[in-house]
Structure 1
Amino acid sequence: MLDTISKVIETCSNFLWGWPMIIMLLGTHLFLTIRLKFPQRKIFTAIRLSVTPDKGASGDVSQFGALATALAATIGTGNIIGVATAITLGGPGAVLWCWLTGVFGIATKYAEGLVAVKYRIKTANGQMLGGPMYALERGLGLKWLAVLFCVFTALASFGIGNLVQSNAISLLCHETYNVPVELSGAVIAVGVALVVIFGVKGIARVCSAFVPFMALLYVIGCVCILIINHAFVADAIHLIVVSAFNPEAAGGGFVGGSIIMTARYGIARGLFSNESGMGSAPIVAAAARTRNPVRQALVSSTGTFWDTVVICALTGLVLVSSILAYPDISYSDGPALTKVAFDKIPYIGAPLLTFGIITFAFSTILGWCYYGEKSIEYLGGKRLTLVYRGIFIVATFFGAVIKLAVVWNLADFTNALMAIPNLVSLLMLSGVIAAETKKYLWNNRLDADADAEDNPQ
C-alpha cells in the first residue's frame, strides 16, 4: 500500500514539476517583468533599502530581518546539490537557464512582497499577519483558495522544510564524521526549539546574524575554487552559454539531448531554488517594518537576486570549471561532483562544504517553521500554533533517523500545489500591483508613508 501511494505521489509530483509548472511560473515571471516595467532595474536600490532601517514604520521585524528569514528558507541544499544535479541531467547549459530564471523571478518576488504588505492585517496584540492567504481572501474574496494554500504550506513545512533537511544533516554527519543519526537528530531538535520558541522575532534575530555569515563563507569558498581553476573559468562561461542553446556543443561526454531538456532542468532548478512564485517568502515579508508596500517589495526581490543570480550562478561556474579542469572526475552524480569540486581547496574544502550544507539546511528549517506556523494560525487560530511548534520540533528528530523517499515526493508535490493559488493571486491582482508600483516607485515616492487605503485593516 505504501509503495503504491509513493508511486502515485511521485507521478503527480513529476507531472506538476514538469512543463505545466515551468510554464506557469516562468510565464508569470515574464508577464510581471513586462507589466511592472522591469523592476530588476531597481535591484541596487532594493539592496540599499534592505540594509537601511525603516524607522517609525509598522511591523514586527526589520526589513533585513524579514529578508534574512526568507533567505534562510530558500538558500539551502538546492543551491549546492541542486545545481550539480541540473548539470548532470541537463548539461552545463542548464546553469544559464537557471540564472535567467532568477533574473526574471525577481519581478515575481517583488509582486509577492507587495501584496503581502498591502493586504496584511494587524492582530489584537499588534502582530502583523500576511501572505498569499490574505491576498486571496481580502484582495479577491477567494477564502476557499486561501485555505487550500495554507493546508499545502503546512504540509510542505514538514516535508521540504523539516524532515528532508534534518535528514540531510544527520546523513552528512554520519557519513563524514560517523556521528550517530540519533544524536544529530536530538541536537537539531534542541537547536530548533531554542530558536522557534521566541517566534518570528527569535527566528529573524538568528537568521539576521546567521544567513549573511554562512552565505559569505560559501561564496568565499566558491571564489577560492575559481581562483584554483582560473585557467578554465573563461572556457566554462563560454561552454555554459553555448550549450544552453546547443547542448551537443558541450561534448566530452556531457549530456547532449535537446535544448528543451537542458532548459527544463535549468529552469526547474532555478524555480525550486529561489521559490519565486511559490508564496512562501511573502508570509514573512508581511511582518516587516516598512512605510509602504513597494519598499518591502523591493527588499523581498533581492532574495531571488542573492539566491539564484549570485549563489546558484557561482555554484554552476565552480562545477563546470572543475569538470574542465579535472576531466577524469565523474559528473554523473550531483552530490559527488560537488564534493570533488570542494575537495580541491586544500585542507578546508571538505569541512567548508559540510558546514555549508549543515547551516543551510538548519536555517531552512527555521524559515519554514515560521511559514507553517502562520498557515496554521490562519486555519485555526493562535492556540494551534503552540501545538504545531511542538510537533514540528519532534518531527526534526524523526526526520534525522528515518528514510525519506516518500517524504521527498510529497514535499515536491505540496510545493507545487502551494504555487498554484499564489500565482492566481498575483495574476488577478497584477493591476493593483502595477498601480502601487506606479504610485511609489515610478513616481519616486519610496519614502512616502502608505495612505490608509493602501493597507486596509
Structure 2
Amino acid sequence: MELFETWLAAVTNWLWGVPMAVLLLGIGIVLNVYIRFFPIRYFFHVIQQTFGSIFKKEKAEGSVTPFQAAASALASSVGAANIVGVPVAITLGGPGAVFWMWMVALISMGTKYSEIVLGMKYRVKNEKGDWVGGPMYYIRRGLGWNKVAVFFSFFLLLQIFASIMVQSNSLSQTVEASFQADTLYTGIGVAVLIGIISFGGIQWIGRVTSRVIPLMVVLYIGSVCIILFNNLSAVPEAFGMIFYYAFNPISAAGGFAGAGVAAALRFGLARGIYSNEAGMGTAPIAHSTAMTDHPSKQGMWGVAEVFVDTIVVCTMTALLILTTDVWTGSAADDANAMVVEAFASVMGAGAAGTLVSIALFCFVLSTILVIVFYGEKQAEYLFGFTVSIGVRVLYLAAIVLGAIGGLQFVWQFLDFMLAMIIIPNIIALFFLRKDVAETTKDYVSRYLSKK
C-alpha cells in the first residue's frame, strides 16, 4: 500500500506540474481565439447581462433562475481556496504569484464560458422532468464518446467523496478551534442540514446559495476593506510588489523563504486554476438547470463567476495579506493563521478568529451542499435516478466520517482524481470548440451586432 501511495504521489505531482498547466492554459487560449475573446471584448455587456439583470424574470425552460444556477456554481468555487489558498500561493511563490492568478483568470473566463455553453446546448430532461447536463452529456451527445463520458462521470463520483471529507474536516476543525465544538457533533449537524436542503433538489439549493453566497462575499470584502482603509498607504506598494515580483525573484525575509519567477508562475497558475474551477467540468452541471433562451446568456454567468472568484475575492485576500505584512513572518502551513492575524491587526484576535471561522463555515457549508448535488447527478447518469438517492446517503455519511478525520488515506487521491476529470473534459472542449464558436457567433449577431 505504501509503495502504491508513493507511486500515486509521484504521478500526481508530475500531472499537476507542466502537463496540466499546458493543457489547461493552452486549450484555454485556443478556446478564447475561437470565440474571438468574447468575455474580454464584451466584458461590460457580460456584467450588464449578469449582475445587472439579477432580478430579471426568465420565461424560458429550466429548473432554476440563471442567478440561482450561477450562485450554486459559485458556491463550489468561492470558499476556503480564496481565504487560505491565496496566502499559500504568496508564501510559496511571493507576491508575484497574484499577477499570474490574474492571467489565469483572463484565460479561464473563456474556458468556463465554453463549458457552460456546451452544457446548455446538450442538456436533457431526466425522468422527473428536470433539466440535467454537464460534461458527461456533451461528451456523449456532442462527440459520441460514450466510454469517455462514463470515465469522467465515474471519477467525478469518486472525487466528490474525497472532496466532501476534506471540506468537512476543514469545517469541523475550524469550528472546534473557535467554539470548542466536538467534531463528531459538527459532522452530524452538517450532514442533517445538507440532507434537508438537498432533499428539495436544485430548486432549494439554488434558493439557499443565492442568499448565502452574495451575503458572505459582501461581508468578507467589506471586512477586508476595513483593514485596507487602515493601511491605505500600503496599498500602492502591495500592487507594486505584485507586478514587480511577477518578473523578478524575491529574497527571503523573516519566515518567507524567498521565491524565483518560476515559483511565482507555478503557484500563481496552480492556485488560480484551483480557485475558479474552470476546466473541471463541474460548473456546467449547475448551469444546465437554468432558465434561459440562449446558451451564451448562461455562459456569461461563468465569466462573472471567474471575475468575482479570482479578480475580486482572491485579490482582496492578497491585499489583506500584503498590506499587513503578515506574509513575511509565516510559512505556508500557517495560511489560515495568516488571515486571522491580518484581521487581528485592526479588529483584535477574538473578533478576527470569529469572523474567519464564520466565513469559512458558510463557504464550506455551501460548497458541500453543491458538490453533493454534483455527485448525485453522476450517479443518476451512470445508474439511474433511484440509485442517485442512495449515493446521497453515502455522501452524507462521508460528511460525518470526514469531520472526525476518518479515511485520511482517501484524501491523498483527491488531486489524482481531479486530474482524471479535468483531462477528458478539457480535451472534449477542444474538439467541441467549433460548437462554442458557432453559438457565440449566433449570440453576437442576434443581440450585439445591431448595437
Q: Report the alpha carbon displacement of residue 327 of structure 1 after superposing the two structures with TM.
A: 8.2
Percent identity at matched positions?
A: 36
Deviation larger for 398-407 or 411-420: 398-407
- The residue aligned with 2:20 is 21
- Name the TM-score, length of structure 1 as normaliser: 0.92
1:439 pairs, out of 439, 442, 449, with: 442
Does the aligned pair in 2 maintain the 1:166–1:396 contact within 8 Å? yes
Count of residue correspondences: 443
Please give the alpha-carbon distance, in whole angstroms, between the structure 1 residues aligned to 2:194 and 2:255.
44
- The residue aligned with 1:455 is none
2:98 pairs, out of 84, 95, 98, with: 95
Q: Report the alpha carbon displacement of residue 358 of structure 1 after superposing the two structures with TM.
A: 1.0
- The residue aligned with 2:150 is 147
Deviation larger for 403-412 or 292-301: 403-412
Q: Report the alpha carbon displacement of residue 372 of structure 1 after superposing the two structures with TM.
A: 0.8
Deviation larger for 43-52 or 361-370: 43-52
The residue correspondences of 1:114-133 to structure 2 (distance < 5 A) are 114-133=117-136
The residue correspondences of 1:30-69 to structure 2 (distance < 5 A) are 30-38=29-37, 39-50=39-50, 51-69=54-72
Amino acid across the alignment from 2:274: F
Q: Report the alpha carbon displacement of residue 340 of structure 1 after superposing the two structures with TM.
A: 1.1
Please give the alpha-carbon distance, in whole angstroms, between the structure 2 residues aligned to 1:31 and 1:328.
38
Does the aligned pair in 1 maintain the 2:120–2:287 contact within 8 Å? yes
- Over 3 Å counting, the alpha-carbon distance change for 1:24 and 1:54 in structure 2 is farther
Provide, for residues 73-93 of structure 1, a one-character-per-residue CA deviation record: whole Å limited to 9, x for no partner: 111111111111111111111
The residue correspondences of 1:399-410 to structure 2 (distance < 5 A) are 399-402=402-405, 405-410=408-413
2:226 pairs, out of 224, 229, 241, with: 224
- Over 3 Å counting, the alpha-carbon distance change for 1:76 and 1:143 in structure 2 is same
Please give the alpha-carbon distance, in whole angstroms, between the structure 1 residues aligned to 2:413 and 2:423.
16
Does the aligned pair in 2 maintain the 1:91–1:250 contact within 8 Å? no
1:285 pairs, out of 280, 287, 295, with: 287
Q: Report the alpha carbon displacement of residue 321 of structure 1 after superposing the two structures with TM.
A: 1.4
- The residue aligned with 1:394 is 397
Does the aligned pair in 1 maintain the 2:95–2:242 contact within 8 Å? yes
Deviation larger for 246-255 or 53-62: 246-255
Provide, for residues 334-374 of structure 1, a one-character-per-residue CA deviation record: whole Å limited to 9, x for no partner: 22222211222324322111111111111110111111111
- The residue aligned with 1:372 is 375
List structure 1 segments (4+ residues) > 6 angstroms apart after TM superposition: 249-253
The residue correspondences of 1:403-418 to structure 2 (distance < 5 A) are 405-418=408-421
The residue correspondences of 1:248-267 to structure 2 (distance < 5 A) are 248=250, 254-267=256-269
2:180 pairs, out of 178, 181, 186, with: 178
The residue correspondences of 1:275-354 to structure 2 (distance < 5 A) are 275-323=277-325, 329-332=329-332, 333-347=334-348, 348-354=351-357
- The residue aligned with 2:245 is 243
Please give the alpha-carbon distance, in whole angstroms, between the structure 1 residues aligned to 2:143 and 2:60.
26
Please give the alpha-carbon distance, in whole angstroms, between the structure 2 residues aligned to 1:307 and 1:341.
20
Q: Report the alpha carbon displacement of residue 44 of structure 1 after superposing the two structures with TM.
A: 3.2
Q: Report the alpha carbon displacement of residue 52 of structure 1 after superposing the two structures with TM.
A: 4.5
Does the aligned pair in 2 maintain the 1:242–1:249 contact within 8 Å? no
- Name the TM-score, length of structure 2 as normaliser: 0.94
Tell me the C-alpha RMSD between the 2 structures. Answer: 2.0
Please give the alpha-carbon distance, in whole angstroms, between the structure 1 residues aligned to 2:182 and 2:58.
47
Does the aligned pair in 2 maintain the 1:164–1:407 contact within 8 Å? no
Please give the alpha-carbon distance, in whole angstroms, between the structure 2 residues aligned to 1:62 and 1:257.
45
Secondary structure of residue in 1 paired with 2:60: coil
Provide, for residues 158-212 of structure 1, a one-character-per-residue CA deviation record: whole Å limited to 9, x for no partner: 122x111110111111122221111111111111111111111111111111110
Q: Report the alpha carbon displacement of residue 32 of structure 1 after superposing the two structures with TM.
A: 1.7
Please give the alpha-carbon distance, in whole angstroms, between the structure 2 residues aligned to 1:4 and 1:192.
37
Please give the alpha-carbon distance, in whole angstroms, between the structure 2 residues aligned to 1:293 and 1:253.
49
Does the aligned pair in 2 maintain the 1:184–1:400 contact within 8 Å? yes
Deviation larger for 293-302 or 7-16: 7-16
Q: Report the alpha carbon displacement of residue 251 of structure 1 after superposing the two structures with TM.
A: 6.4
Secondary structure of residue in 2 paired with 1:287: coil
Amino acid across the alignment from 1:258: G
Amino acid across the alignment from 1:7: T
Q: Report the alpha carbon displacement of residue 394 of structure 1 after superposing the two structures with TM.
A: 1.2
Please give the alpha-carbon distance, in whole angstroms, between the structure 2 residues aligned to 1:404 and 1:314.
35
Deviation larger for 396-405 or 305-314: 396-405
Does the aligned pair in 2 maintain the 1:115–1:433 contact within 8 Å? yes
Amino acid across the alignment from 1:91: G
Deviation larger for 10-19 or 432-441: 10-19
- Over 3 Å counting, the alpha-carbon distance change for 1:438 and 1:229 in structure 2 is same
Q: Report the alpha carbon displacement of residue 124 of structure 1 after superposing the two structures with TM.
A: 4.2
Amino acid across the alignment from 1:76: G
Indicate whether 1:206 and 2:208 are aligned.
yes
Q: Report the alpha carbon displacement of residue 55 of structure 1 after superposing the two structures with TM.
A: 2.0
Secondary structure of residue in 2 paired with 1:247: coil
Does the aligned pair in 1 maintain the 2:255–2:330 contact within 8 Å? no
Secondary structure of residue in 2 paired with 1:375: helix
Please give the alpha-carbon distance, in whole angstroms, between the structure 2 residues aligned to 1:322 and 1:396.
35
- The residue aligned with 2:199 is 197
- The residue aligned with 2:10 is 11
Does the aligned pair in 1 maintain the 2:251–2:259 contact within 8 Å? no
Secondary structure of residue in 2 paired with 1:163: helix
Does the aligned pair in 2 maintain the 1:373–1:388 contact within 8 Å? yes
Please give the alpha-carbon distance, in whole angstroms, between the structure 1 residues aligned to 2:411 and 2:130.
33
